[in-house]
């Protein structure tokens, strides 16, 4: 599960890779192998082997420091990437602008696998990223830093560059936290032009001690803490689309166990996983753009989705025109944040069901996301006789909106879309 270092081998490889200019065609044939950052005065702090329980804390610490982190995820290693907690943590870190990349499905030594097995290990991560966040990863960090020509060419065929590192905190190799800190001091004292630093998201001491130490140290020394893509001056992803609806197929059951490869009872996947592109803007956008949705009782109160995440609540709060209040009506769905839809939680028809937002493809939404606006200004859940309802008639900021049986003339169910 941990990464060991073959630094000298790697440095030799870098020398070879960086020794030759790469044309675009060569790049397609053989992926770029990045060990170092390229930009001056930038440091990329990178975290392998998650997602795990410290992801959110590391994400928050970077965000608070105005810094960006890079996470190299496995699908099935310390945890299953489809654990609902991990799904929401990943979406959280992505929304915060941190970079996500592949560390293979099960953390095998890819250089010992067949090409088919390598394909499978990369495919499963592409599928997870497509499902959970709607991105195509552009970077692979091979476990243990081990790769051979097969790893390089399969990664290239799948559009991924290899990202190694040039400093290792040793946090997964038995270094004490004090030793890891000393290593960070070495980097700072060496006044390096840039650095690409390896550490591990799954280590508690890394999350609680090393991260705050590194953020403070490198900021004091005047470095910018950026993603790997940024310090290389390249795009972090091959494509950005929309995430998918979770389903029972989102599981690590029947997929390679930690350290294992496909084969036997586990079919090897070598194709391209389903990817949902962002819905294209209609060529004749309805007169709208984004609208505010206000309860009839108050022109200064707006329907708001304060949290851009699956399951985020829908409340009323003072209108301020922010993204959380900007709703686009596309067909029968109300979209906020570009790819989140107004959604009846769990499709429940019970009176008092609270509304949420959930990622969606407005072109093929499920039934819980379909609403029509009536002439009496009700927002009706299509086919259910239920209407959006201002809970208890309260305009208090944060009051969660519900559905209730449609009642004509009920002011709590009248909304102005402006």
Residues that bind ligand NAG (CB under 6 A): 5, 168, 170, 173, 175, 179-180, 182-183, 304, 306, 317, 320, 322, 324, 351, 404-405
In the bound complex, what is the minimum distance in angstroms from residue 170's beta carbon to ligand NAG?
A: 3
In the bound complex, what is the minimum distance in angstroms from residue 355's beta carbon to ligand NAG?
A: 15
Q: DSSP letter for 144, please.
A: G
Which member of 49, 166, 200, 343 is catalytic?
200
**Contact (CB, 8 A) for 365 and 341:** yes
In the bound complex, what is the minimum distance in angstroms from residue 149's beta carbon to ligand NAG?
A: 27
CA distance 8 to 1: 21
Which sign, positive or negative, has the C-alpha torsion 23, 153, 234, 127? positive
Measured in whole angstroms, the distance separating CA 63 from the mean position of its chain's CA atoms is: 14
Which member of 48, 49, 79, 166 is catalytic?
48
Nearer to ligand NAG, 272 or 320 (CB): 320
**Contact (CB, 8 A) for 412 and 389:** yes
Active site residue 48: yes
CA dihedral 248, 401, 382, 326 (to 10 degrees): -90
Nearer to ligand NAG, 1 or 5 (CB): 5
**Contact (CB, 8 A) for 187 and 220:** no
Residue of minimal CB distance from ligand NAG? 170
Token pair of 275, please?
């990817």
Nearer to ligand NAG, 132 or 379 (CB): 379
In the bound complex, what is the minimum distance in angstroms from residue 131's beta carbon to ligand NAG?
A: 28
Measured in whole angstroms, the distance separating CA 207 from the mean position of its chain's CA atoms is: 19
Residue 177: how many other CB atoms lie within 10 Å: 17
Nearer to ligand NAG, 24 or 191 (CB): 191
Which sign, positive or negative, has the C-alpha torsion 247, 252, 254, 255? positive
In the bound complex, what is the minimum distance in angstroms from residue 384's beta carbon to ligand NAG?
A: 11
Judged by DSSP in three states, 232 sits in: helix
CA distance 120 to 158: 11
Nearer to ligand NAG, 2 or 366 (CB): 2
Report, as residue numbers or ranges, the catalytic residues: 48, 200
């Amino acid at each position: 599960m941990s990464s060991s270092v073959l630094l000298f081998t790697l440095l030799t490889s870098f020398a070879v890779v960086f020794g030759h200019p790469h044309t675009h065609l060569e790049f397609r044939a053989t992926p770029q192998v990045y060990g170092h950052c390229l930009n001056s005065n930038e440091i990329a702090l990178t975290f392998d082997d998650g997602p795990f329980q410290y992801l959110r804390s590391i994400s928050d610490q970077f965000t608070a420091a105005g810094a960006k982190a890079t996470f190299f995820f496995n699908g099935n290693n310390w945890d299953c990437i489809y654990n609902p907690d991990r799904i929401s943590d990943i979406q959280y870190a992505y929304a915060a602008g941190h970079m996500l990349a592949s560390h293979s499905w099960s953390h095998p030594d890819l250089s010992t696998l067949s090409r088919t097995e390598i394909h499978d290990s990369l495919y499963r991560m592409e599928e997870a990223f497509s499902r959970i966040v709607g991105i195509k990863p552009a970077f692979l960090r091979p476990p243990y830093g081990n790769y051979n020509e097969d790893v390089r060419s399969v990664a290239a065929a799948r559009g991924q560059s290899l990202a190694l590192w040039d400093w290792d905190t040793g946090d997964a190799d038995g270094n004490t936290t004090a030793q890891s800190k000393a290593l960070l001091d070495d980097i700072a004292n060496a006044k390096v032009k840039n650095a690409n630093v390896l550490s591990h998201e799954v280590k508690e001491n890394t999350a609680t001690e090393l991260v705050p130490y590194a953020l403070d140290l490198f900021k004091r020394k005047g470095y910018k803490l950026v993603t790997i893509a940024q310090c290389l001056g390249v795009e972090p992803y091959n494509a950005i689309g929309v995430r998918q609806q979770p389903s029972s197929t989102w599981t690590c059951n029947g997929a390679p166990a930690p350290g294992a490869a496909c084969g036997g009872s586990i079919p090897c996947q070598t194709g391209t996983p389903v990817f949902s592109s962002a819905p294209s803007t209609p060529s004749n956008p309805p007169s709208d753009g984004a609208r505010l949705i206000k309860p009839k009782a108050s022109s200064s109160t707006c329907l708001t989705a304060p949290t851009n995440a699956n399951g985020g609540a829908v409340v009323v709060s003072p209108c301020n025109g922010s993204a959380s209040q900007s709703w686009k009506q596309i067909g029968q769905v109300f979209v906020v944040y570009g790819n989140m839809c107004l959604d009846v939680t769990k499709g429940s028809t019970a009176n008092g069901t609270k509304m949420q937002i959930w990622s969606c493809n407005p072109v093929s939404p499920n039934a819980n996301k379909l609403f029509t606006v009536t002439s009496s200004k009700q927002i009706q859940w299509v086919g259910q006789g239920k209407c959006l309802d201002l809970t208890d008639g309260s305009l208090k900021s944060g009051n969660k909106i519900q559905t209730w049986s449609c009642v004509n003339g009920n002011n709590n169910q009248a909304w102005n879309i402006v």
